[in-house]
Amino acid sequence: MMVVREQTPSEALAIVPIQFFVPPSQQTTTDTDSEPTPMLQIEGARETTPETPKQLQETTPKLPPAPTKIHPDAEDAAALLMMARTAAYVPKTDPGMPSFSLGLTDSSQEGASTQETEREKSPETATMLEQLDSLVQKLASSASKGKDESPQIQRETGGESSAKFETPGGINQIPDDMKQKCYIWGTRLKEDAKGNTDEYEEICTLVGQGEYILMRTHLASLQAKSDIESQIVSAICLILNQKKEKRFQAQIYCLPPDIVSMALSDHPRGEFISPKTNKEFRVEAYPSFIHFIDRKKLSSHPYIFAPVCHSGHWWLWLINTRTRKCQILDPLHKKAPSDEINDINKFTGYVFSRLITYAGGKPLEKGEKEKEIKAPYVKISGQKTSYDCAIYVMKWLELIEPENIKKGKYEWDNWTQEEVDHYRVEYASRILFSEMNKQRDRAIRESSAIRLSKPSSVLLSPFCQINFADIETG
């Protein structure tokens, strides 16, 4: 049976079934099998592209009825192709099944089918299938050029989305509403019916000296009134060190705090002999973090900015590798608050000196004096809460000019609390939308899918706690 078009007075086109019967004398037979065989045998419909007709129906505009039977529209061609591809599945038990030819190939060249050839595609079958595919594609292409049809809307891919954010101005060119969406997507934990959360889902991979992986629980520490995880500060250090600015390419190197944090966990009170390992600090004992250190910059830049965290509080070391002098900027204290912190500062000073030496630079002090490195505190205005110290340290990495520190003071205009709150939103988007993030396209795509149901001015403050019930996702 074959589908053709017939023009009638009542309607432009109608589809009617027509059967062609070929006399037995003209049927092709073989010596081994006298059963009549359909002239068109198309095998392996599932091995090709069974979804092609469906795709054409979804993406190809319908054409007006064709004036003749010679040019069927794309839907008819797709139906014709589906019929041809499913012909192989027609039972061959009926000896009266007529043979037919679509006129796409010379029927005299068609050979009889056997069980073996039914399992494998013959060259003639492949040719006919290609011709049918070509026909459908041509018709679909011509249909898309119709004058009366609206142009199709192209779907945006992750790469196209990310291109919008690759602007010379950098992170500040990202719209505020997109930063807010990113902040919500990156910092909110989801919980299933069993009480399990997605806190350990990997959502960011920064590619620099190595692959630095952040999980959702790390980003969640940027929520309001939360103590920020060490991994967030390390990520900001890695991102700043890659910025194409003179400050970071020739003057200041931001040392990621991972090795120092691990060393302090082994030497919790600043002991030079670890109570856990009964050994002194050695850089080689932390191989998983060594490759995140840029040895060239660590040994060549005149200034090293090194964040330190102990008992949930952050402060910043400023190290002048030329004069071998050190200073401490603490957002909460103007001097060491306890003897324990004094001991920790001596130990961390020794760690910094060892790291610089490991990278090929000169130690901050020689011999035993390396364990007595002094770093006076600089008087500077800082945090107004008990949980924003990491925000201050990360902003100081970007802004502090060491040469402007005079007589142990640094004069500057401090931020308002509203600005400090806003930086939590900024850092979430800065990390997830960074060009170093291998999963950047996903962050952009999934952040874009969020539709904010509250005013953006409210969402901008991380003190506005938002549940997933407050968020509409597309």
Strands, E assignment, 139-291: 202-207, 211-215, 252-254
202 has a pLDDT exceeding 50: yes
Average the pLDDT over 192-198 and give the result: 89
Residue 303 gets which letter from DSSP?
E
Give yes or no for a contact between 192 and 401, defined as CB atoms under 8 angstroms apart.
no
Kindly report which listed range (63-67, 130-134, 272-276, 311-315) carries the lowest average pLDDT score.
Answer: 63-67
Residue type, 427: Y
247 has a pLDDT exceeding 60: yes
Between 134 and 70, whose confidence is greater?
134
Average the pLDDT over 245-258 and give the result: 97
290 has a pLDDT exceeding 80: yes
- 158-165 long-range CB contacts below 8 Å, 24 or more apart? 158/441, 158/442, 158/444, 158/445, 159/441, 161/441, 161/444, 161/445, 161/448, 162/440, 162/441, 162/444, 164/444, 165/433, 165/444
- What pLDDT is stored for residue 146 in this prediction? 47
End-to-end CA distance of the chain: 46
305 has a pLDDT exceeding 70: yes
Taking the domains of the chain in order of start, what are their residue ranges? 2-144, 165-473
Residue type, 105: T
Give yes or no for a contact between 345 and 318, defined as CB atoms under 8 angstroms apart.
no
**β-pairing verdict for 252-254 and 303-310:** parallel
47 has a pLDDT exceeding 80: no
Average the pLDDT over 311-319 and give the result: 97
3-state SS assignment for residue 83: helix
> Tokens 């060239």 sit at which residue?
296
406 has a pLDDT exceeding 50: yes
- Nearest CA-CA partner of 433 in 157, 170, 234, 168: 170
The torsion defined by the Cα of 304, 305, 308 and 314, in degrees rounded to 10, comes to 170
What is the architecture, at CATH level 2, of domain 165-473?
Answer: 3-Layer(aba) Sandwich (3.40)
Q: Which stretches within 38-157 are classed as H helix? A: 52-59, 74-86, 115-119, 123-144
pTM, two decimals, is 0.64
351 has a pLDDT exceeding 70: yes
Across the chain, what does the average pLDDT equal? 75
- What pLDDT is stored for residue 254 in this prediction? 98
Which element (helix H / strand E) includes 231?
helix 230-241
